[in-house]
Structure 1
Amino acid sequence: MQRRLIALALAGCAWVAMPAALHAAGAPALEYTAEMRGPAPIPPAEQGLQTITATPWFKVSDDGLQLEGPVFDRAGNLIFTEVFGGKVFRLTPDKRLETILGENALAPAGLAIHRDGRIFIAGLGDFKDAGSVVAMNPDGSGLTAIVPDTAGFLPDDLVFDDKGGFYFTDFKGTSTDPTGGVYYVGPEGGEKGGEPVAVLPNLSVANGVGLSPDGKTLWVTEFSKGLLHRVSLSDATTIAPFGTTVPYHFTGPAPDSLRTDADGNVYVAMYGQGRVLVFNPNGMPIAQILLPGRETGHNLRSTSMVIRPGTNDMYILTNDWKAGEGSTIFHCKALAAAPVDFSHR
């Protein structure tokens, strides 16, 4: 035994004494490839998807504004928000940019237009527990609390159903503390609606929310866990038996807002990746839309998108944060036209 130990010790000394070149001789080596480079490489499972690159359409600002919540009103104006400054903008069909709500403490993230023309705003408030849903007239006047900032929610996005009620996401929690969720506010109770009812609780930072064209399927993104939820509804607040699935687990940061088209396809903005992933009505990935400059770290904060009613023209909002290219709206063609907007009926 003693001889064996001595032999092993001598062998170890001999290995340490060898030149470094001999240590590495024949060692397998990793190498960067084109697909690996950049801050947000496309995961291997998604590299074969049909892929297009959107084109610049309108430069909102030279500053990196956190643009969010795009919707079209009945006049064809594009309404959207700037979260950290609290502003709500209107971009007219001839591309005149107007401010309809100045700086405020709402931290507006999501917008939806009521059938009576009022603009509903999902606001993150203090980003802790004092967010709200408010309504205002198209000119920015008449602010009215629908879900007050004392209710304890952090509303991030919202969508109306055909009854005049709406779903909103509660942007609370962390990846290990699922205290957010999706809630429904019914149309009852006059202009302020009903009390929020939990539909899909226990989510880690619920973010995007949308409905299928027939209103029977609710789609939700879970930002901190990177999940896409597909929820079959029996009624506005009741999940059908065995009606929930997680058809997709995202790789990397992070699923943000979503929209649907008239064929039931789902578009998810990937915040931190400068792209939009497209899913069929069953939640299977079928395509992707890239933003220019993403491979060198630009335009990665892709937050949301909208399809212009009556067309398949899609507009994607992003910002370059501190990387120098400001805040831009990009344009491409979606697979199908916009769904019938319940607020436009």
Structure 2
Amino acid sequence: MRQRSIRIFTALCGLMALTGCGTQTGATPAAPQDGPRTIRAQQVMRLTEVHAQTGMTLLEGPVFDEEGKLLVVDVTAPAGEPKVLRVDVRKKTSQQVHTDERGTYTSAQFSPYDGRLYLTDFSHGAILSLAPDGIDARTFFSGEVDGTPMHPDDLAFDREGNLYLSDSRGMSEGEAKGRVVRIDRTGKDATVLADGLSAPNGISFDANYRGLWFSELTQNRISYLLLDGKGSVASRHTAVRVDGGIAQTDSIAVDADGNLYQGLHGRPAMEVYSKHGEHLATVQVPARAAKGLESATNVAITPGGTRAYMTVSGPGGGHLYTFDALAEGIRQSNGG
């Protein structure tokens, strides 16, 4: 979820200033002779329009529910308009799941522990949980971690239901104060796993839950945290440097083969890397359709299938695009 979009949005809202189901083929890949192949995504539907009150729309956090419906958050939706939507991608219809007066929701994930939907509230440093049908809203976590408030951006769960968050703080002051934070599944114990980061954004477990991939928006890099199996970090290193040009690294999803799908803010495209750092593919919106689209923030791959759905936004509205992923979807394929 992108700092500059949220900065504009939260200023308009009077908030704090911020820095920034099957395997059908959904696209036609073209393979160049050398280097990564190009996969052209196809439009499914326009999901949102630019909101008059906030002057923008920004789709994020696609995640499949147990019925195969796709849930999506609209980061910049004002009070009273849908902030979480449930989409029937086959019928191309959507309905409101949740709205409220003040939340700025940047990601969504279902917990394997209690089955509830968890949302990161970037502006207020909180985690909200909902019943799968959108009712029974509860604040799961809020407040400081190690004496400092969070700006939680993206979210991942381990097998036991503990939460891992990219805390994208500090960049409004021009300092790398971002963190990766672990919160136990009760919401009572919060631990900093990594700090000194430059606007950490995307976060996802690898295919085997051995470690965490996370991206840093203002460094255009993806790093890897190897975990020790007890909730602590065994090692950390820079894994991939993304040649994004004017675009910046956004959210991350991982498929069954361990490939990373790196969303971009500043370009309606997504880069795909192997777990060894090989640049495998670029997923992009066709040039004729790209006008008015500025980001491809995130993706969800159908569980057990290869149909992928990418959230794409800009002055032209918020859209869902589809393409054929390189491998099947797993829990980590729901964009964090």
Q: Are 2:196 and 1:202 aligned? A: yes
Q: Map Cα deviations across residues 72-121 of structure 1 (whole Å, 9 max, x no partner).
A: 01111101111112611111353321101124311000111012321000
8 A Cα contact 1:158 1:209, kept in partner: yes
1:116-265 to 2 correspondences below 5 Å: 116-125=114-123, 130-149=124-143, 152-174=149-171, 176-187=174-185, 192-241=186-235, 243-252=236-245, 253-265=247-259
Shift of 1:213: 1.4
Paired amino acid for 1:154 = H
Paired amino acid for 1:246 = A
Cα RMSD (Å): 2.2
8 A Cα contact 1:181 1:202, kept in partner: yes
| Percentage of identical aligned residues | 26
Q: 1:236 to 1:107 in 2, by over 3 A?
A: farther
Q: Distance in 2 between matches of 1:296 and 1:90?
A: 25
> Which 4+ residue blocks in structure 1 deviate beyond 6 angstroms?
none
Q: In the alignment, which residue of structure 2 is the partner of 1:329?
A: 320
Q: Distance in 1 between matches of 2:192 and 2:109?
A: 20
Paired amino acid for 1:184 = R
Shift of 1:303: 1.1
Shift of 1:134: 1.1
8 A Cα contact 2:205 2:332, kept in partner: no
Mark the runs of 5 or more structure 1 residues left unpaired by the alignment: 1-46
TM-score scaled to structure 1, two decimals?
Answer: 0.77
Shift of 1:296: 6.1
8 A Cα contact 1:109 1:124, kept in partner: yes
Q: Which has the larger radius of gyration?
A: 1
Q: Map Cα deviations across residues 135-157 of structure 1 (whole Å, 9 max, x no partner).
A: 11122222211221565101111
Secondary structure of the 2:195 match is strand
8 A Cα contact 2:198 2:218, kept in partner: yes
Q: In the alignment, which residue of structure 1 is the partner of 2:27?
A: none
Match of 2:44 among 57, 80, 103: 57
Q: 1:150 to 1:106 in 2, by over 3 A?
A: farther
1:7-86 to 2 correspondences below 5 Å: 48-63=35-50, 64-85=56-77
TM-score scaled to structure 2, two decimals?
Answer: 0.79
Structure with bigger RCO (C-alpha 8 Å, 6+ apart): 2
Paired amino acid for 1:251 = G
Q: 1:131 to 1:247 in 2, by over 3 A?
A: same
Q: 1:73 to 1:296 in 2, by over 3 A?
A: closer
Q: Which has the higher strand share?
A: 2
